[in-house]
Structure 1
Amino acid sequence: MKLLRWGTAGAERPGMLAPDGSIRNLGGVLTDLSGAALSPESLARLAALDPATLPVVAPGTRLGPPVAGTGKVICIGLNYADHAEEAGMAVPPEPVIFLKASSAISGPDDPVELPSGAEKLDWEVELAFVIGTRAKYVEEADAMAHVAGYMLANDVSERAFQTERSGQWTKGKSHDTFFPCGPWLVTRDEIADPQALALGASVNGAVMQAGTTATMVYGVRFLVSYLSRFMTLEPGDIVTTGTPPGVGMGMKPPRFLQPGDVVALTGEGLGTQSQRVVPA
């Protein structure tokens, strides 16, 4: 099942993708895709619906972030050995954790802003997962039961802010529009193995990233358990799991985004995104 949110920014409504490719309005069934709506019981009720009985949303309608009410966006850094190598950093002995402000969340095809004073705007295609039920001190064997589903995400980064301005990475990760996600939330049952998905990114049509989640250092199951020992994971929280090689800062010479550039992302079973870079 592919769940989504559609409509103008800040006023999105819940929906689902029907088998015929049309978007169907779930507004008569639930208020939004947040909190308890992401529980296994709620998702089972939605899966039992016949999409053909739901109103059709007009083609071309904007898609927003697939999940509402996100309290935390938790990011895992250097989680692909080949990406750590291109960044000139060692594979960490434990997951690198940093936070991205929830105000950075945007729709899959919304513009990405080049912040005032930015010098090194970069792209990162990633697999993200969404928590469906509260997780605290979870064992790996039980971890996947807490995952509602998966999304494609772009962990947009301003590298000068991130690494050259002192302090934590968060300042280079949290500008408005720095977390396009979607186009939909793919429920856990539709992804047989989250560690076997192809991911790709291009800039202005030129392929930059072509990787697979098989080369992740720390997989989804481990991350749910690990993170739940440091913070309680609540329904709607998003964890984005790192990027394969091919980001701008790893190129020789480095290549960073400018206004007018278009970044396109793909994820196996997860859909596609496209963002044009605009001045903030």
Structure 2
Amino acid sequence: MKRARVAYKGQIHEAVFEAGYLALPNRRMVSEQDVVWLPPIVPKTVFALGLNYADHAMELDFKPPSEPLIFLKGPNTFIGNRGNTIRPAKAAYMHYECELAAVIGRQGKNIKACDAYSYVSGYTIANDYAVRDYLENYYRPNLVVKNRDTCTPLGPWIVDAMDIEDPMNLTLRTYVNGRITQEGSTKDMIFGIPALIEYLSSFMTLNCGDLILTGTPKGSVDTKAGDEVVCEIEGIGKLINTIAEE
């Protein structure tokens, strides 16, 4: 099942994808163009991975990390499908990062990797933009890079975990103005979802509604105001976003 959060005629609804339409709780069917898309989840703690694909690390002239490089993201960063991401006026290089995001569905601590998937309720797409101008060190992404307003589109759907046969074998693609600029597979993650859940839960409790952004493969390119960026993940959908001037 694909689920979304949308605003329609002044109200926020939990919607379900049915036959090409969004089914609202009152069973009214509306088109994707008739709603304002919101992030499909109001996340609690959000964990994001740096350099979790070896090809992306090498693209940036870094050695792949020996343990997960994790930073936190605030709620101000998230916007919905078809939203606008603001490019800072003085930015010289701002690139997208197409990422698979895992949604934690129940509380857990000291979770073993072999049990990790039972704690995942679903998956969505994140586009975690980075402004390289402000980056001090890829091993320590600072707040001004990864916690900027509007810089993490999320959605459009949460797809139930049971509907994704193998989350560690999904194709990711990004298109800028209709041209494919990035392609990779989740099978190339350095630290897969089970390993990340085991690692995080070894020192802290994971809760229902927590979100894990799992990193991006190589192929990130600069984006300019007016660009339409589409992040696509097999089995989940397409997350559409436009770059806007500050």
TM bucket normalised to smaller: over 0.9
What is aligned with 2:20? 21
Note the alpha carbon deviations across 1:202-254, whole angstroms, 9 max, x for none. 21222110111111111111111111123322211111001011012xxxxxx
Residue 196 to residue 77, structure 1, CA distance change in 2 (3 Å): same
Taking structure 2 as the reference length, the TM-score comes to 0.93
1:262 aligned to 2:236? no
How far did 1:11 drift? 5.4
Deviation at 1:56, TM superposition (A): 1.7
- Aligned residue type for 2:104: I
Name the % identity: 36
Alpha-carbon offset, residue 178 of structure 1: 1.1
Task: State the shift of 1:170 in Å.
Answer: 3.1
Q: Which amino acid aligns with 1:78?
A: L
2-side partners of 1:191 and 1:107: how far apart?
22
Aligned-partner Cα distance in 2 for 1:163–1:11: 41
Structure-2 separation of matches of 1:229 and 1:130: 18
**1:124 has 2:97 as partner:** yes
Shift of 1:103: 1.0
2:36 counterpart letter in structure 1 = R
Alignment of 1:126-275 (within 5 A): 126-163=99-136, 168-248=141-221, 256-275=222-241
**Does the 8 A contact of 1:162 with 1:170 survive in 2?**
no
Deviations 1:44-84 (A, max 9, x none): xxxxxxxxxx222344122211112x122210111111111
Which one has a larger percent strand, Structure 1 or Structure 2? 2
Corresponding residue of 2:3? 3
Instruction: Could you tell me which runs of 5 or more consecutive residues in structure 2 were left unpaired when the two chains were aligned.
Output: none
Instruction: Please list every run of at least 4 consecutive aligned residues from structure 1 whose deviation after the TM superposition is greater than 6 angstroms.
Output: none
Tell me the TM-score normalized by structure 1: 0.82
Give the CA deviation at 1:114: 0.8
Distance, in Å, in 1 between the alignment partners of 2:228 and 2:47 is 25
1:121 deviates by: 1.1
Asked if 2 retains the 8 angstrom alpha-carbon contact of 1:98 and 1:170, the reply is no
Judged with a 3 Å threshold, the aligned counterparts in structure 2 of structure 1 residues 93 and 64 are, in CA distance, closer, same or farther, namely same
1:135-187 alpha-carbon deviations (Å, 9 max, x no partner): 221111221111110011101111111237x9643320111111111110001
Q: Does structure 2 retain, via aligned residues, the 8 Å contact 1:162–1:173?
A: no
Counterpart in the other structure of 1:65 = 39
Q: Secondary structure at the match of 1:103?
A: helix
Relative to 1, partners in 2 of residues 1:84 and 1:59: Cα closer, same or farther, differing over 3 Å? Answer: closer
The secondary structure found in structure 1 opposite 2:194 is helix
| Pairwise CA RMSD | 2.0
Unaligned 5+ segments in structure 1 are 29-53, 249-255
SS at match of 2:118: helix
Q: Would you say the 8 A contact 1:131–1:146 is kept in 2?
A: yes
- Structure 1 CA distance, aligned partners of 2:53 and 2:140? 23
Deviations 1:20-63 (A, max 9, x none): 1211113x6xxxxxxxxxxxxxxxxxxxxxxxxx2223441222
